[in-house]
Amino acid sequence: MSRLAGQRIVLGISAGIAAYKSAVLARLLKKAGAEVRVVMTEGAQAFITPLTLQALTGEEVRTSLLDPQAEAGMGHIELAKWADIVLIAPATADLMARLAAGMADDLLTTLCLATRARCLLAPAMNQAMWSHPASLRNAATLVDMGWQQLGPDAGEQACGDVGGGRMLEPEDIVAELEAALSGQAPAPGMLPLDTTPEHDDHAPATDAFMAASNDATPGALAGRHVVITAGPTREAIDPVRYLSNHSSGKMGFALAEAARDLGAHVTLIAGPVSLATPEGITRTDVISAVEMLEAVNATLPSCDIFIGCAAVADYRLAEVAEHKLKKVPGSPDLTLNLVENPDIIAAVTHREDPPFTVGFAAETRELARHAHDKLVRKRLDLIVANDVAAPNLGFGADDNAAVLYHLVPNGPEDPVASYTLSPRPKQDLARALFEYLLPLFQAHQPTRSPVAP
């Protein structure tokens, strides 16, 4: 039986094109056995009708704070107390701004202020709106207030743009709720749901992610060996040309500094980058993917945490030309015979005694789907997904954003938990990433003893 069975869920719908997904979400929640009552903003009704949601839930849909019949019994307060979970999907930029400001100018925002239930939202907006500093500030404010943010995903949008801001698919949202109710200790960034029947005794939501980060003391990784790959690889074509990518290595170097500050012994395996070696870190320079794999293999006997942050080239030349390839007059095309490079991450995770392994997924579309696939296929403990199509983030930039995914042990069909790290300087993102992974690493129970200082 689904863990959502019997849960009382208020589904809030605001005015975005993704509101059409809310009908599917309502159906899935009902199918899982939840009691669902829908609250729609005035703008949401321009995208989907209350009658549709009423037919799917079997409950009257609330749309107005000033409904004389409902408010005769203080209906918005009654609804706020009734809920175990308040889930807003889609949550538009406007709604998030009003929630962050503490406004109560319609039924949905009013009940959010009045409830002591668990509150979650699934952002949905244009990629430029999502990356705007005001939207990011509001998202961070809501997380600080105790809201759990689900997504957003990245990919093609209704307006034709490509980037972050897509609402998670209904199935992914339901999986998040199932995982939170799995009976396991909540993952960092996932607040525990109160499943007791006494609804008036709900404790106010708190920021579990920040609570978990209390473990990130300066000595939290003392005696542990952290190995990090960073930067691009270069695959030679001839003595003067090569295949590569735009990775600068900044994220990997920031992670190395963060691990060092937590007391770890850090080995940084760097592709060809122009960055100075951080103080107190052992650095090995490599050029190609094959060289990087050799350097990684040399560290694994003592490695406790491996972070594959490097942008490793997927292919290399089957045979590197001994001399510079010359343009042939009358032959405008050049064919290169490529072979697949070794999979460094898979080589680490498929060992008999692998370290705690973190991978990266740099994507331009369908961020969640590709990250989920890589997480499972490569047996990762955690994957950090980046939307490299987002402006001013990712390759070469000083700032970055990420969505973290990992499997919840013993959850329903191994559901995937996620946590979004909003755009910030890469040094700050690196620290936040370690704050998140520390409880996961501790639960991983590595078999190696800490190395001597």
Identify which of 355, 376, 252 has the alpha carbon closest to the alpha carbon of residue 306: 355
The SS3 of residue 389 is: coil
List all residues 6 or more positions away from 229 whose beta carbon is below 8 Å from its beta carbon.
Answer: 252, 269, 270, 271, 292, 296, 307, 308, 309, 310, 312, 344
Q: Are 402 and 425 in contact (CB under 8 A)?
A: no
- Inform me whether the pLDDT recorded for 193 exceeds 60: no
Which pLDDT does position 317 carry in this prediction?
94
**How many angstroms separate the first and last alpha carbons of the chain?**
50
> What band does 439 get if pLDDT is binned at 50, 70 and 90?
confident
Domains contained in the chain, CATH given: 8-210 (3.40.50.1950), 216-322+335-444 (3.40.50.10300)
- For a pLDDT cut of 90, what percent of the chain falls above it? 52
Annotated catalytic residue, options 112, 119, 159, 303: 159
pLDDT (average), residues 416-432: 87
Higher pLDDT, 389 or 93: 93
Mean pLDDT in residue range 329-349? 90
Binding region: 308-310, 314, 324, 342-345, 360, 374, 378
Rounded Cα distance between 176 and 174, Å, is 5
Secondary structure of residue 249 in the 3-state scheme: coil
Best CA proximity match to 144, nearest among 75, 213, 80:
213
Looking at the whole model, is its pTM more than 0.85?
A: no
Q: Give residue-wise pLDDT tens across range 114-141.
A: 998 889 999 999 888 887 888 888 888 8
The whole-number pLDDT of residue 50 equals 94
Lowest mean pLDDT among 44-48, 174-178, 220-224, 447-451: 447-451
Averaged over 81-104, what is the pLDDT? 94
Q: Cis (ω within 30 of 0) for the bond into 197?
A: no
Section 88-102 average pLDDT: 95
119 included as an active-site residue: no
- Residue 411 has a pLDDT of 52
- The answer to whether the peptide bond before residue 90 is cis (omega within 30 degrees of 0) is yes
- Residue 198: is its pLDDT beyond 60? no
* pLDDT for residue 220: 85
Band of residue 202 on the pLDDT scale cut at 50, 70, 90: very low
Task: Name the binding residues for CTP.
Answer: 308-310, 314, 324, 342-345, 360, 374, 378
Q: Give the mean pLDDT of 281-307.
A: 96
Highest mean pLDDT among 189-198, 301-310, 422-431: 301-310
Highest mean pLDDT out of 2-16, 60-74, 221-235, 366-380: 221-235
3-state helix, strand, coil in the chain (%, to 5): 35, 25, 45
The order of strands in the sheet holding 118-123 is: 35-40, 8-13, 85-91, 118-123, 148-149
